[in-house]
Structures are given as C-alpha cells and as structure tokens.
Structure 1
Amino acid sequence: MERLKVDDIRDRFLHFFESKGHLILPSFPLIPKNDKSLLLINSGMAPLKPYFTGQETPPSKRVTTCQKCIRTPDIERVGKTARHGTFFEMLGNFSFGDYFKKEAIPWAWEFVTQVLGLPVDRLWVSIYEQDDEAFDIWHNDVGLPEERIVRMGKEDNFWEIGVGPCGPCSELYFDRGEDKGCGKPDCGVGCECDRFVEFWNLVFTQFYRNEDGTYDKLEHPNIDTGMGLERMAVIMQGVDSIFEIDTIGAILDYVAEIAGVSYGSDDKNDMSLRVITDHARSAAFMAGDGILPSNEGRGYVMRRLIRRAIRHGRLLGIRDPFLYRVTDQVIEHFKGAYPELAQRRDFILRVINMEEERFDQTLDQGMLRLEEIIERMRAQGINTLNGEDAFKLYDTYGFPLDLTQEILSERGMKIDTDGFEKQMQAQKERARAARKQTNYMGSDEDIYAELPDDVISVFTGYDRLEDDGVVSAIVVDGELRNVAVEGDEVEIILDRTPFYAQSGGQVGDTGWLYGNGARAEVYDCKKATGRRIIHLGRMVEGSLAVGDKVHATVDEERRMATARNHTATHLLHKALRDTLGAHVEQAGSLVTPDRLRFDFSHFAPMTQQELDRVEYEVNKHILDDLEVTIEEMAIEEARKTGAMALFDEKYGDKVRVVSIDAYSKELCGGTHLKRTGQAGLFKIISESGVAAGVRRVEAVTGFGVLEHFKQQQQLLDAVAVILKTAPKDIPSRVEALLKEIKDFKQQVQDAKNKKAVSIDDIMSSADAIGDTRIIVYRVDNVDMQSMRNMLDNIKDRLKDGVAVLAGVCDGKVNIVAGATKSAVQQGIHAGNLAKRIAASLGGSGGGRPDMGQAGAKNAEALDKALAGARDIISEQMKAKVES
C-alpha cells in the first residue's frame, strides 16, 4: 500500500466523489445550528440533518464533506488507550433522495481498492442480516466472496433512534493481520480485538419508523456514509494508533519535546502526552468556531478538555503556560485544510492562554480547599472523602478524580468512588434532560410537516412593503384549519409575502393582512420547515380561508426603524474591528425597532476612550451618507471580494452581500437602509460582558437616540431637584455630599473603636515564649485600616515580640499580624502567620515578615483559629532554631 498522509487521504476522498457528481462542501462549524439534540457536531451527517428532513433545500442532491467532529462520552478514557480521542475528522458522501445502494456500494469499493489501493484480500464487510439487496450488490456486482460478507443483527447494523427516518447499514473492515488478533478460534469481524478495524459505515436510510414500531418505506431513500479520516490514516501509514499518524504524531512529538520526555518509554508519561495532544486539537478547533470556556454546555466541555490537558502537563513536570504553544502547532498542521484556524490564530491562542492562566489560579484554590477538607477529616477521625466533596472538587475546581485520589493516598486516605459516580451520573442526567430527544435525523416534528412539499413561501419584502398573496395554510390552536374566523389566534402561510421572518438576529415584521372583507393583525413573523413563512397574528374581523387572496401590508415605520439598527450593526462591527483589532468577530446580535444588541469576541471591558472612538466612527459614516448596496452572488465569489461571514452561519450557493460604500462588506439576509444617512444618529447605551471573552454593546439609532437623550434630561432634572441645585452644578454638589458622608463614617468608626477596645487592655494580655512577648487578641467591629493603626501602636510598645489582632467587622473576618525586628530574627514571618490563620477559616492573605494581613468569612471558628496562633508562632521559632 502507498503510505498516504492525512491531507492526501482527505483530498483523494473529496475529489473522488466530486468526480461522481458530488458538491464538495467545507466543514460546518462545531456549533450545531438549530439542533437542540446536540451540544457539538459529532458526525458528518449531523449538520446536514435539515437537508435529509426537508427543512432546507440542499445546494446539491449529492454532497461530500470532511467534517470536523467532537465526541465526548468518554473523556476520562482519552489517553488511557491509544484509540480514544475527542476530536476527529469524518469523511462522508451523501445522497438526498438521489442515488442509493446500487451506486453507494460500488463507489465505496472503487475508492478503497483503486484510489487508496487497499489489498482486496484484506477487506471485509458487514451488512444487516435481512438486507439481501446489499448482499447481492456486494457479492454479485462488486464480486466480494460470500465468506467475507458478514450478516449482523439490528444492534450492529441498523441505524435508528426513536421515531423517524432509519435504515440498515453496511460497514467496511480492514484485516490488520493475525499478529494483531486475540488468537481465539472465532476471531473475526465484530471481535473486540485490534485485528479487524471498521473504517467506513454506509447507512441506507430507507424506512420511517412509526410510533407503533412498524416501518414504512421512504419514497426517496437517502445515503449517509462516514469514514474516520484518522482511522484510515492508521491503516494507510501502517501504524498502531491515531497518535502515530503524521499530523497528530507531529503534535505529540512537540509536547514530548516541551516536557523533556520520549513517547513509548513510560506508560504514565505516554498517557499524559496523548491527553494533551488530543485535547489541544479539540480546544483549537472549538475556539476557532467561537466556542469559549464556561461552566455550562459546550463551553463546559471545552473547559474540561483544556483543564485536563493542563493537569497532565503538570504531571509531566511542565510548570509554565504551555497549552497555547501546543495549540499553535495544531494550527500549523491543520491550517491547510481549515484556513479559518490561521485566520483566527490570535483569537484562538488568547482564549487558550487566558483559560490556562485562570486554571492555574483555580488549581491553587482547589489545593487549598482540599487541604482544608483533609484537615477537617483528620479532626473528625474520618478516613474516606465523601462523594459529594470529591465531586465538588472535580466540578468546581477542575480536579480530576485521579488527582484527588493521588493526594489522599499520600495521606493514607481514600475516596467514596461510588458516591462520586452517583454525583457524576446525576450531572449527566441533568445535561441529558436539557437536550431535546429527537429521532435519528434529529428533526422536530411539527404541524407544518404535514403540509405538501409544494406549500412554500416566496419572500418579496426586500423591494416592497406591500404585496398580494394567496393563503396556503391556516393553523389555529395547533391544528390545520381551512377557515379562521374573527377572534382566532392564527398562524397563516402565504404563497408570497413582503413580511420578513425572524432570522439572522433581526426580528420579524408586523403589519396587516386584508382580503375577502377580513382583516388580520400580524404581530410576528417566523420561519418554519420547508421554506415556509408563518404570519402569527389575530383575526380582527371577518374570516379567511385557504385559497383566499389577501393583500399583505408591512408596518413601514417599524421596518424602517429596524433597518436603521441593522445597518448600524454593520457599521458598529467594522468600527469595533478598526478600534480593538482583527480578533473581533460577531458572536451574536439582536436587531429590533427599538435598539440593537451586538455581541463580539474581545477579552477585556472597553475603555471609555475606545467606546468614544467607536461611537464617533459609526456617526461619521452615518453623516457621510454612504450608499448601501446589495448584490446576490455565489458564496465563493463573495468570499473573494472580502465579504465577512459569520462563523456559525450556513450559506447556500447564492448569498446576499451588503456593502456600505468601500467601508464595510458582509454576508447578510436582513433588510437595510438605502443610505447610511437615514440612520440619523447612533448612540451606545451600554457595554458589558456576557461570557468569558465575549462583550456586548447595546445601542440606539434615529428616534431612539432622541428618546434616550430625552430620558437622560428628565433624569438629570429630577436629580437636580432632589439635590436642590442646578443641573450644571450636580457634580460639585455630589462631590461635597460624598465628602460629608465619608467624614461622618470615619467619626462613627473612631467612636466605635474607642468604645470597643483600649491599647492598654491589649498590652496587658501579653504572654511570652522565651524572651519574645506574644499578643493574640480579638477586636470586633474594627475596620482593617483601624486595626493596622492599632497594630503599629502595639509593635512600638512591644519592643521585642509579635502581635496578632483579629475580629469581625461588617460580617467579614479581618486579621493583622506584626513582628518586631528582633522577633523576625527569631524566625517569625507575620505574613505567613496571617495566611495560615486565615486558611483555617477558609480565607487567604499574606505579607512581609514584619507585617501581614488576611481576610476570611468563617467567623464562627475565629476563636478556635486564634487559639492555634500561639502554636504557629512556636513552629516558626522552632524552625529557625533547627535551621
């Protein structure tokens, strides 16, 4: 066999099927689009579901892709074996009601034997036990011997999930040789050993499973195939695992170089190298598609992967940030096939680096928390950590179970692993419940699926706000009706409509439908399956029936206000990139008549100077009254012109390119102004964070700006009345009041301090260790600054000694510690002393040898903590003597 690289296999597959009339589509993003059944794209078929179910029309009836995928059911197993991974590439060819088994099977055989050159005598296939049609094609058409066609049951060779499209499948296997087998007499296709490797699955979607368990034949059966690119590379390159193929192996070698270890010399090190290599690939591609680490959903998956990789870096002895460097290697090795990685390099590396720095801090906090738990267990005479605490360390602090076990084992302790697993299972159940259960294709059945395929809507609203159409369907109370009468809440489909249906962040139009003496108010407009536009509204008078002609009229003022805000989002996007950098990408938007909301990738709050500059840039281009032009063109042509596209948006063959003179060019299906001057003015209302690495700007245009200024003036006038001053004097009046309040607070605190404690009382409590005087005293209702002042006074009077003051003020524990010069020479470190006292209270702190301070929340245990302060002082002095 020819030793083919990963890039060669991918290229040969796609171009082979292109020669068979397939359209090559680029990989879809890892974020599922309108699919609640998935957190992440996990197969080549997953992003194509709308084409299979008829929700959308495919750009071609024959499609081929290399789809980036992530599967995470067994994250904890990744690294422990040489086979498991989270990120992989899935090659596939698909037919949407076009060709079927007669073509799919021979083409698969032609590709593997003639294009890849796999030895015929080492190829086997499996089929569904009742699929005689597939057997006949494999045996008679392809010529595969009967003994190398294995019939299997439903569990292995039939794809179905619940109600919906389903069908048998046929899998291709490669025999790696007897030396890879288990040696059992019955070793063959389906055996769990490493000899027979399944590398391609051909799914024949030809049935529809009903709720009663019966099957109906589909009028237009489909083909859905999937070949693991990495698995095929293992076969073609004659290696034993995916971590040895050219692309992944190069990344693993880089990790080994950073760690100063060699792969294959130590099992524990090998596991860590595999974990880091795999998880870095996943993290790079997830960040490249706009996913950011968080504590929920796909962001939580990403955070787990990154933190697990970092933890294994520490196990290899890597202490400095390193994962972003590994991620850069991923980009280098995959940018040819996935150019978006290189385009978003800075963004990806910054996401990984920030998460790495954040986890370093979290890991330290987790270690402190674990130490507290161990101390509590010892005090209570407990030897086993309960599952709830173990899971909290895992879930909150990112501590893998094996890390906690390792640390506890060193202390002679163990974990209730059963309790941990129960907590883990409960979390999985919550995650599963949050995802909607669907059938194999993931489609949601709705009332519109019952309509004939030719019931579609043509949108005419780009050029007009009024149009005539015919009522194609009516839904009342969730049921299809022929007639809607006065008072009915309705959903109406027209064959053509000027109403814009909600999409791309822009809300749907409102307006009226008139016809047959009837009038219906439309208060929203949405898209439904099968290219249908739904007018949601209420019958105000008369009745409408299917087949009636109606005149549809859009609310012009509302549409215009929406267009102002939509065009302004394009200006805003460009101004943000010019001001903050090219890493800025749209992460979401909402365009309404009242305001616009724009989410974008950025890592820090915007400064006032940056906000002012962005606001100026947008208003400048509004006042320049630039022309807004819209063109339809092929997607590739649009990309060549430099038009920006959203990373998580799917585009068809033809796209709309919205250009604002030479300033901005984006792909967009929304409605826009003719000229920017129609927006009037632009005003940023707020800037805030919505997720790690994602900021949000809210703004208004046109009459919204006037309304905003009106409200601001009313607020200013109201405040002036309350302060009994003129609006222009409000700042100086507020400043004077704040000073009065501050002075009053200090007077009150001074009075409290004077009443609460006297320095003479504290000095009289002094004890001694040898010649060193010791003061440990509780003083409540004293703020930190006042406590530090008291400590300075005490140190001056001590001459030779150490003092600790602690107390509760406003619900918080304040701790200060100080040591004289002679006490420091005796081994006292006041910063460490304060830190250790605070740690026993769940807090933190530190400082210099002569001065330290700390804070905590557990006020109930303060007396006990102070009682142990003398022991800490003794330990420090003893350590000095012994050294």
Structure 2
Amino acid sequence: MTGAKIRQRFLDFFSTKGHTQVPSSPLVPENDATLLFVNAGMVPFKEVFTGHAKRPYKRAVSAQKCLRVSGKHNDLETVGRTARHHTFFEMLGNFSFGDYFKKEAIEYAWEFLTVDMGIPAEKLHATVFTDDNEAAKIWEEAIGLPGDRISKLGEKHNFWSMGATGPCGPCSEIHYDRGEECKCDNPDCGVDCECDRYLELWNLVFMQYDRDETGKMTPLPHPSIDTGMGLERLVSVIQDKETNFDTDLILPVIRHMERIADTEYGADPEADVSFRVIGDHVRSMAFLIADGVFPSNEGRGYVLRRIIRRALRHGKMLGVAEPFAHRLVDTVVKMMKESYPELLASEKVIRGVILAEEEGFSATLEHGMNLLSDIIEKNKNKGEKVIAGLEAFKLYDTYGFPIDLANEIAEDAGMSIDIGQFNKEMEKQQKMARKSWKGSETIGIGDRVDIEIEYAPTKFTGYENDIAQNVLVREIRKDNVIVNSASQGEEAELILAETPFYAESGGQVSDTGTIVGTEGSFVATVSHVSKPDGAHWLHKVKVKTGTVKTGDKVTASVDVERRNHIRRNHSATHLLHSALRAALGAHV
C-alpha cells in the first residue's frame, strides 16, 4: 500500500466516524507568536482546545504538515543518523472537542490499525499514565489487550500539557513490536526503551484537566481528544521497511540523488547519512517555500537557509560540486502534488529560490570546508580536540561560513568549537560596529505619530495641481516646538491649510519644491513632506531669505520635473512587480 493511499485511508476512516476532514494548515502558524513553525497536528486547533475559538464541528481529522527544527522539538541535528527523525513530516490526527473521550478514541485507533491497516493485534502494545486506571481498563476489557502488553509509565512518557498552565491530561501510546531481532542488549528492553524494537506509532492525548499557576489541576467541563501519528512511521510498518527513509514517501528523492551523485544508496553507512539528510531536507525546502518562507538571516528564513546549506554540504560529501537540490524538487512535487496542490502551484518558485541559494552559497561552502578541514587537521596533529573560537570566528567574519555548519563539521570529526570564545569575538565586533555608527539625525515619519494638531486636516490638491497660491501658514514648528516664525538660515516644519506637495507614503518619496511668501517676503526650500498623523502635511523647509510667520499667505510650488521622474519610476516599479509575479509567483 502506498504512503499516499495510507494517508487517504486514515482521512476516509475518520470521515465515516463523523469527523470533518480539515485541510492541513500552512507550516507558518496563524496568530501564534509562540511557535516558529507548526510542529504538531493539534497546533491549528490550539485556540479551540483552550476555549478561545469555536468551530462548526466537534470532531475533526487531518493530515498536518509539520516541521521540527526549533525549541524542544528540534530534530535537525539528528536527521540522517537515525531511522525515524525528520525535519518535515506529516502528522495524522483525529480530534474531539468536548464530544467523545477515552473509550471511543482507543476503539477508533485499534480498529483503524488492526482492521483497516491489517496490523496483527499481537504486534501492538499500549502504554498509559501511572494513575490512569480508566484507560488501562478500556484497553484490557473493551479491546481485549492482555495485561502484559499494557504498561503504566510516568509523566515523562504519558502525560501531556500545552504549557506550564492550561489544558493537559494523561495520554496513551500505541507501540508496534518489530520483533526479537530488533532487540537491544538491555535485559529490561521494553516499550520505554530507546532502541528501535518498540516503535511508537500513535499518541492518544486525553485532555481532561486545566492546570493553574500553582499546579492545581481542575477537571475540564468538556474533556477533549487530541491524537497524533506520524505518517512516515506508519508507512514504514505497513510497507515493512527498516527506516522511514526506505518508504515511498522519501526513497524516490534518494533514488533521484543517486543518479545525480552516481553513487549507490546502501553501499556505505556514511554516504547513507548524506542521502537521508538530503531526502529529508529537500521535502522541508519545498514545503517551506510553498508556504511563503524564503531564505534570510533571521527567523524562519534563517531556518530554511540552514536546511538548504546543510543539504548542500552533504551533497559535497557525496562528490556533487554543482547545484543539485533544485533538481530534486521535481520528484517531491510529483509525489505530493495531489495531497498538497500548493507544491505544484509554486514549483517554479521553489526551484528558482533553491537554485539561487545554491549558487550564492556554493563558493563559500567549498572555501569554508577546505579551510575548516585544514584547521581540523592541524588540531589533530597537535592532539587537540577543541577548535579555538577565534579561528571559527575568522571563518564566519572573513569568509561568511556559518558557525552552526562549522560546529556540525567539527562534531563529525570528533571535535568541538569553543563557542564561548566565538561569542566573545562576535560581541566585540558588534560593540565596535555600534561605536562607529553615528546614526541618523533625520526624524522618521513613524517617530512622529504622537504629534497633536488642533487644526482641520490639510487639503491636498496635488493630484490636480502642482502649485497652490494664497495659502495660509497655520503653524510653524522647530524641533517639534511651536514657534511664531523662522528666519533666514533656520530649518522648520510648516503646516499649510492647503498643499500640492505629495507626502511620503505607500512606498513613494515625497515631493520637494519651494514655498514663497506674498511679494517675496521670504523664500524657503522644501526638502521633505510627511503626514505623521495621516491628516496634516508637515513641510520640512530651510528658509533661504526673509522670515516666515504664522498667518502668512504663501505660494507653494512642487518641483515638477522631479515629480515626473518619480512618477515614471513608481509606475515602472509596479510594472516590474507585475512581471515578477507573473514569472515567479504570487509571493513576490
């Protein structure tokens, strides 16, 4: 059975049980500043579980895109070295919002695994929380699971909470026994062992308490169900594969990479790590970019950049010098487009973004890896296992080689980097940069939102005219202090009753020009125009001759030639933007 069919069978099964099928949310959480990425199937329903939002259904089922690359759920460094860890994965889940509870959740899970998926019942074990006798009784009496296949474990394994406070409760995990041949050397090897014999398939969370700041747990009036099962793990069981990477969800990407690298997967353990890293990371790249995340030096964009660069490094280790990751996108899209049509819609963009990142980082990667190899070799010859932070900082500062990648390469060589010294050098550089930066004396538009003006809004006539005559000077300000006049050589801001000057907004710079008093009593040049409160135009001027006074009548004239140049540039920018969107996609 294919991975795609298993995904659909799960959704169809719960649909027949009265669950509403909910499409996967994007990887970027909506209205949740606590997470970089969606890392579990329940994240899109968090507000429903806490009671802050309502849905038109009480039962839901989904196959949710997830990414675990930050916080306590960070699998980035272990990807490729284990059989099960991924950055990107799909979480299958069924949810009850105050509808059914433990008995139905356990019965549904058992029916799907043993009947729909055909997994032998004797291969399955269950764990429950130490004090959850109710769940243990359901497993034994309603399901008929023998007592020796039901394990009671503590809070670390079988109690789930959304945070320090809020909804929480015991959980029950379903494990698949891969057989005696997978047993480790631990004589007490069981479902709580870290080896790969007992594979955790499904976690059923029984949200039945509300925990307060003191740790007191009060029963919820409407207990809920949140379950999660990794699709990749389930598929590895159904397809009888040793690792998740050998399933048809990832292996086609690895096979594609085999052709590019002209190297066989499975022939060399170290090369296999690189194949698995690339197989995993390319999926993450594709889904992140399709969901609007692009490489940058901070936040989500930096995570994507790290993933791309880590894949490129492993490509180099397979002997591939030219850009390759963008070529693997075709395989990912072909496999996943039916379930995730956003991949097909963004395919051209995904390839283009990855290729640009590959080309931009390729020279840095090669040069940095060569320099770091020399440093590692030098340390080995000296018998030293810690690379000086100063040397790592030089790689970063002079050659742009990322410290996280340097650290990973060092660890692969059995060494470490003195991160403390690296951070000190970084701090020293930042202090020097701050010291040398004198800043800008210009007051930004956003810094003036607190301005208070009692007059009626300025009348803007610039769309019809480039000159306004006999206009009243309502107010004069110097350093945001109201004054009665400004004389030759002084700078000030004038508020006029009417103006033809366009104020900076919408990505377009302001007009410039002149303001002249009646009969030439003063001449002032206008260098900038803003509207800090959105209603009153502030004309920044320098008085060239004479004195301007509150109550004067003036003529305000826009520099027409400059305005026309700006108009043409602004229109050209819109045309370019339209062309880029047509060529690259709606994200531009």
TM-score (norm 2): 0.69
Query: Could you say what secondary structure the match of 1:698 adopts?
Result: coil
SS at match of 1:280: helix
Give the CA RMSD over aligned residues.
3.9
Cα deviations across residues 407-451 of structure 1 (Å, max 9, x unaligned)? 9x8xxxx96x26238869999xxxxxxxxxxxxxxxxxxxxxxxx
Relative to structure 1, the CA distance from residue 187 to residue 375 in structure 2 (aligned partners, 3 Å threshold; closer, same or farther) is closer
- In structure 2, how many angstroms separate the alpha carbons of the residues matched to 1:105 and 1:126? 12
For the residue of structure 2 that corresponds to 1:168, the secondary structure is strand
Q: Is the 8 A contact 1:168 1:203 kept in 2?
A: yes
The answer to whether 1:143 aligns with 2:144 is yes
Deviation at 1:8, TM superposition (A): 1.0
Provide the C-alpha distance between the structure 2 equivalents of 1:357 and 1:183, rounded to a whole number of angstroms. 47
Q: How does 1:578-593 map to 2 (within 5 A)?
A: none
SS in 2 for 1:357: helix
Aligned residue in 2 for 1:110:
111
Residue type at the aligned position of 2:21: I
Partner residue, 2:418: 419
Determine whether 1:199 maps to 2:204: no
| Aligned partner (choices 359, 362, 366) of residue 360 of structure 1 | 362
Q: Secondary structure at the match of 1:247?
A: coil
TM superposition shift of 1:127? 0.5
TM-score, L = length of structure 1: 0.47
**1:179 maps to which residue?**
181
CA distance in structure 2 between the aligned counterparts of 1:191 and 1:729, rounded to whole angstroms: 77
Distance 1:60 1:341 in 2: 28
Do the aligned partners of 1:388 and 1:420 also contact (CA within 8 Å) in 2?
no
Deviation for aligned residue 1:328:
2.3
1:718 to 522, 525, 547: 525
Separation in 2, partners of 1:385, 1:345: 41
- Give 2:64's aligned amino acid: Q
- Tell me which residue corresponds to 1:62: 59
Structure 1 residue 33 corresponds to structure 2 residue 30: yes
Contact 1:307 1:398 in 2 (8 A): no
Residue identity matched to 2:157:
D
Q: 2:401 aligns with which of 393, 397, 409?
A: 397
Match of 2:61, SS state, is: strand
Decide whether the 8 Å contact of 1:684 with 1:698 is kept in 2.
no
Deviations 1:34-57 (A, max 9, x none): 212211110001121111112221
Q: Indicate the SS of the match to 1:300.
A: helix
Read off the aligned partner of 2:401 and give its amino acid letter: Y
2-side partners of 1:726 and 1:99: how far apart?
A: 70
Is this contact kept in 1: 2:513–2:559, CA < 8 A? no
Q: Report 1:557-576 matches (<5 A).
A: none
8 A Cα contact 1:363 1:398, kept in partner: no
Q: 1:730 to 1:303 in 2, by over 3 A?
A: closer
Please state whether the residue corresponding to 1:718 is helix, strand or coil: strand
* Aligned amino acid, residue 54 of structure 2: T
Distance 1:130 1:306, change over 3 A: same
In 2, Cα distance between equivalents of 1:684 and 1:359: 41
SS of corresponding position for 1:246 = coil
1:312 Cα offset (Å): 0.9
CA displacement at 1:314 relative to structure 2? 1.0
| Residue 315 of structure 2 corresponds to residue 313 of structure 1 | yes
Structure 1 residues 394 and 113: alpha-carbon distance in aligned structure 2, compared to 1, 3 A threshold: farther
Structure 1 residues 258 and 729, CA gap change in structure 2 (3 angstroms): closer
Q: For 1:33, what is the secondary structure of its paired residue?
A: coil
Q: Structure 2: which amino acid aligns with 1:97?
A: G
Secondary structure (helix, strand or coil) at the match of 1:218 reads: strand
The equivalent residue for 2:253 is 251
Equivalent of residue 16 in structure 1, options 9, 13, 16: 13
Is contact 2:49–2:167 with CA below 8 Å preserved after alignment? no
Is 1:211 matched up with 2:216?
A: no
Q: How does 1:519-668 map to 2 (within 5 A)?
A: none
2:343 pairs with 1:341: yes
Offset, 1:299: 1.2
Paired residue secondary structure (1:124): strand
Residue type of the alignment partner of 1:117? G
Percent identical residues? 46
| Aligned position for 1:134 | 135
Say if 2:236 and 2:243, in contact at 8 Å, map to a contact too.
yes
Q: Please state how far the C-alpha of 1:384 moved relative to its aligned partner.
A: 6.1
Pairwise mapping of residues 339-488 of structure 1 onto structure 2 (< 5 A)? Answer: 339-363=341-365, 366=368, 385-390=387-392, 393=395, 396-398=400-402, 400-401=405-406, 405=410, 417=416, 419-420=418-419
How far apart, in 2, do the equivalents of 1:714 and 1:422 lie? 57
Q: Once the 2 structures are TM-superposed, how far is the Cα of residue 116 of structure 1 from its aligned partner?
A: 0.7
Q: Is the counterpart of residue 236 in structure 1 residue 238 in structure 2?
A: yes
Partner of 2:267: 265
Aligned counterpart, 2:479: none
Do the aligned partners of residues 349 and 220 (structure 1) sit closer, same or farther apart at CA in structure 2, a change above 3 Å counting?
Answer: same
Question: Runs of 5+ in structure 2 lacking a partner?
Answer: 427-448, 450-456, 461-501, 517-523, 528-541, 546-556, 564-588
* Residue identity in the other structure for 2:127: S
Where relative contact order (Cα < 8 A, 6+ residues apart) is larger, the structure is: 2
Return closer, same or farther for 1:423/1:15 CA change in 2, 3 Å cut-off: farther
Name the SS of the counterpart of 1:212 in structure 2.
coil
Residues 617-641 of structure 1: CA distance to partner in whole angstroms, max 9, x if unpaired?
xxxxxxxxxxxxxxxxxxxxxxxxx
Provide the secondary structure at the position in 1 that maps to 2:250. Answer: helix
Which letter maps to 1:187?
C
Is the Cα–Cα contact under 8 Å of residues 723 and 730 in structure 1 kept in the other structure?
Answer: no
Q: Say which SS state the counterpart of residue 128 (structure 2) adopts.
A: strand
**Contact 2:93-2:229 at 8 Å conserved across structures:** yes
Which protein has the larger Cα radius of gyration, Structure 1 or Structure 2? 1
